[in-house]
Amino acid sequence: MIDWRDWVEEKFPDSKPEWIQEALEDEKSLLLPTEQFDTIVRALRLDDQARFDSLHCIAGVDRKQYIEVVYILFAFSRNERLKLKVRANNELQEIPSITELYPSADWHEREIYDMFGVYFRNHPDMRRILMPDDWEGHPLRKDYVQPEFYNGWRIAAEEEHRTARPVN
C-alpha cells in the first residue's frame, strides 16, 4: 500500500502535502496546495503506479475562513479510494479545474461554483447548474441570506424563514 503523501512529496518536493485525520482512521484525507493541484492530480490520474481512473465525487464545505473542496478519487483496478482536499482561500477563490482529466468533474465543479462561488480555472463551461442563471448569491455558504425578491417576485415570506431555523 503506497502512502500517497510520501508519493506526492517525492514527485513534487515543494508541494508540502499533509494528511488530515479527524474522527475516523480510514477517513483521512490528503491536503494539497491550490496552485499545483491540477498537476498533482494529473500525476495521480496518469501515472502507472497511481492510476486513479475515476473521480467519484466533489464536495464543497464552507469552513468560514476558506472554502474547502473535497475530491474523492477511486482506482477500480485496486479498489482504492483517495480523498483529496484543497482550499480556495485567496481573494479570487479560484481552483484549477480537472475536467480535462476527469469528464465527470464537469457537473460537479459547476455545482460547487453554483453553491459556493468557487471559480474553477480552465473549466469549459463555468455557469450555474441547479440554481437559475440570474440567482443572486451562493446558497450553501454559511453567510448566505436568502434574497427577498427574485425577478420582482417576493420569495421570502417571513424574516425568520430566511435563515436556517434553529432547532431545540
Partner 1 sequence: MPVHELNIPLGPSHDKIVKLTGESMTLNMGPQHPSTHGVLRVELHTDGEVVHDAIPHLGYLHRCFEKICEGLPYNQVLPYTDRLDYCAAMNMNFGYVLPVEKLMGIQVGDRVQRIRVVMAELNRIASHLIAIGTYGLDAGAFTPFLYCFRDREHILDLFEQVSGGRLLYSYMCIGGLMADLPEGWIARCLEFCDYFEPKIDEYNNLLSYNKIFTERTANVGVLPPEVAIACGCTGPMLRASGVKWDLRKDEPYSGYEKYDFNVIVGEGAKGTVGDSWDRFFVRVLEMTESVKIIRQALAGIPEEDISATIPKNFMKMPVGDVYFRSETPRGEIGFYIVSDGTKNPYRLKVRSPAFCNLSAVPYMARDQLIADLVIILGSVDIVLGEVDR
Return residues touching partner 1 (CB under 8 A): 22-24, 27, 29, 53-57, 59-62, 70, 72, 76, 79, 83, 100-104, 106-107, 115, 128-132, 139-140, 164-167
Nearer to partner 1, 13 or 154 (CB): 154
Give least dist CB 124 to partner 1, A: 10
Q: Tell me the C-alpha distance between 127 and 74, whole Å.
A: 26
Per the document, the length of the chain is 168
Smallest gap from residue 119 Cβ to partner 1 (A): 19
Residue 15 or 104: which CB sits closer to partner 1? 104
Q: How far is the CB of 134 from partner 1 (least distance, A)?
A: 12
Q: Which is nearer to partner 1, 9 or 140 (CB)?
A: 140
CB of 126 to partner 1, least distance (A): 15
Smallest distance, partner 1 to C-beta of residue 55, A: 6
Closer CB to partner 1, 18 or 100, in the complex: 100
Nearest-angstrom CA–CA distance, 101 and 112: 18
Task: Give me the phi and psi of 66, to 5 degrees please.
Answer: -155, 165
Q: Do 96 and 37 contact (CB within 8 A), yes or no? A: yes
The strand ranges marked E within the chain are: 18-20, 29-32, 54-62, 67-75, 80-88, 94-96, 119-121, 149-150, 153-154
54 by DSSP, 3-state: which? strand
In the complex with partner 1, the residue whose CB is nearer, 8 or 68, is 68
